Amino acid sequence: MTTVATDTGVGPLLRGWREQRRLSQLALALLADSSARHISFIETGRARPSEEMVLRLAEHLEVPVRERNALLLAAGYAPKYTESTLDDPQLETLRAGIEQLLRGYDPALVVDGSYTVVAANEGIGVLLSGVAEHLLTPPLNAMRITLHPEGLAPRIRNLREWRGHLLAQMERQIALSRSPSLRTLYEEVAAYPLPEGAQDPEDREDPEPYPYFALPLRIEHDGRVLSFVSSISTFNTPTDVTVAELAIETLLPADPATVDYLRSLTG
């Protein structure tokens, strides 16, 4: 649901976003083709911004689509952005496009803004073998599955590095969206204990290190170690809250051995 606007109005909300983005009133005014005086009046409640001004400021402050609706409500305007369900008929074309992407590359999955898995293909299912049943009971959460001691964590060879990458990613999203539910998830998964045997990078013995071009996910599977790099795609200029929060993640093979193994699965 969209954040409920408080009785303080839109001014303090805009000021909070501006301060979080570390912009002065003058800097924001220049971006929005306004004046520092007018921005000050809006933030203190002495002036009511037009609907167009609210949306313009939100754009330059990189406010997430969900929270733009909250700003509009606080300013006394109707929400502009819809929030559809994924099975909504108007998203049929989008669903077809996502399904085509999932058929075109394996393994891949789609998550929402809270890392709930909304779609995945067969390759992801193969990697999930051995994960505890309670983690695979819908709704599946990608972060819980990856970092839980009964999930993928014991099989991830570079767990400390990969865990650090995922937690930093969540921290950036929390700073951008200020989502309480995402903060709760972060606190949960950050508190998971590391499985026994999780090593620091300098403690691992890798007799033939491969020259990776990005931090890989190195995971044990079927008696071998597979290496993947993650690529995440989102939708540009979304006008729907649900679509704005979707992310398509593909796991690209990071070394020749992983390429060969994936080819063997597809024949």
| Structural contact between residues 42 and 11, judged by C-beta atoms closer than 8 angstroms | yes
Kindly state the average pLDDT of the residues 225-240. Answer: 93
| pLDDT reported for residue 212 | 73
Q: Is 6 a residue whose pLDDT tops 80? A: no
Kindly state the average pLDDT of the residues 145-156. Answer: 97
Report the top-level CATH class of 10-74. Answer: mainly alpha
In the chain, what percentage of residues exceed pLDDT 70? 91
| pLDDT reported for residue 208 | 52
Q: Is 116 a residue whose pLDDT tops 90? A: yes
Kindly state the average pLDDT of the residues 249-255. Answer: 94
Q: Is 38 a residue whose pLDDT tops 90? A: yes
Kindly state the average pLDDT of the residues 115-119. Answer: 97
Encoded tokens for 267: 């024949």
pLDDT band for position 196 (cuts 50, 70, 90): confident
Q: Is 5 a residue whose pLDDT tops 50? A: no
How confident is the prediction for the chain on average, in pLDDT? 91
Q: Is 100 a residue whose pLDDT tops 90? A: yes
Total H helices, total E strands in the chain: 12, 5
Q: How many residues does the chain have?
A: 267
Q: Lowest-confidence range among 23-27, 49-53, 101-105?
A: 101-105
Pick the CATH number of 89-266 from 3.30.450.180, 3.40.630.10, 3.30.420.310, 3.30.465.10: 3.30.450.180
Q: Per-residue DSSP letters for 168-207?
A: HHHHHHHHHH--HHHHHHHHHHHTSPPPTT---GGG---S
| pLDDT reported for residue 213 | 81
pLDDT band for position 7 (cuts 50, 70, 90): very low
Q: Is 221 a residue whose pLDDT tops 80? A: yes
Beta bridge partners of 227: 218
Residue with tokens 């093979």: 253
Kindly state the average pLDDT of the residues 106-133. Answer: 94
| pLDDT reported for residue 1 | 36
| pLDDT reported for residue 2 | 40
| pLDDT reported for residue 8 | 67
Kindly state the average pLDDT of the residues 75-84. Answer: 95
Q: Is 177 a residue whose pLDDT tops 80? A: yes
| pLDDT reported for residue 204 | 54
Where do you find CATH 3.30.450.180 in the chain? 89-266
Kindly state the average pLDDT of the residues 195-208. Answer: 61
Higher local confidence (pLDDT), 29 or 211: 29
| pLDDT reported for residue 205 | 60
Nearest CA to 187 out of 143, 149, 154, 157 is that of 143
CA atoms within 13 A on the CB side of 93: 1
Where do you find CATH 1.10.260.40 in the chain? 10-74
Kindly state the average pLDDT of the residues 103-109. Answer: 92
Alpha carbons 190 and 186: distance in angstroms, whole number: 6
